[in-house]
Amino acid sequence: MTTSFLLIVQIVLVVILVIAVLLQKSSSIGLGAYSGSNESVFGAKGPASFLTKATFTIGFLFVVNTITLGYMYSTAAGASVVDDLLETTNVVAPTATKAETSTVKDIAEITPSVPLTQTAK
């Protein structure tokens, strides 16, 4: 349950991190051109300082979540599904019937006895 939740958080963090990186101003402007003039909202330096801090925070959360997921998956790797199956499985070996287990005595009773003194003419 918790690993599923952390995996969903990981995916959300990746999407937000990619968006935050793409919105930052670069030498070729990139998607930063869509941020507009929001100097009054983000402060005197504009969105650059805010996006830098947000990217750092999201990146830090991403790394912490990755380490947590790795730890949880490594501890879960010690337990196996097969261990649970071996305890609950009741397999009975088939037993052989009397017809299948024939001995030398049984074979001798079935075959006709031919006297050794007779010869073919």
Indicate whether 120 belongs to any domain: no
- pTM, entire model: 0.50
**Does the pLDDT of residue 89 top 60, yes or no?**
no
Instruction: Please report whether residue 41 resides in a domain.
Output: yes
Residue 38: what pLDDT? 47
Residue at 104 is within a domain: no
> Is the residue at 6 inside a domain?
no
**Average confidence (pLDDT) over 75-100:** 65
Domain of 36, in residue numbers: 30-75
How many domains, the chain? 1
| 65 domain residue, yes or no | yes
CA distances from 10 to 2, 20, 24, 53 (A): 12, 15, 21, 19
* 111 belongs to a structural domain: no
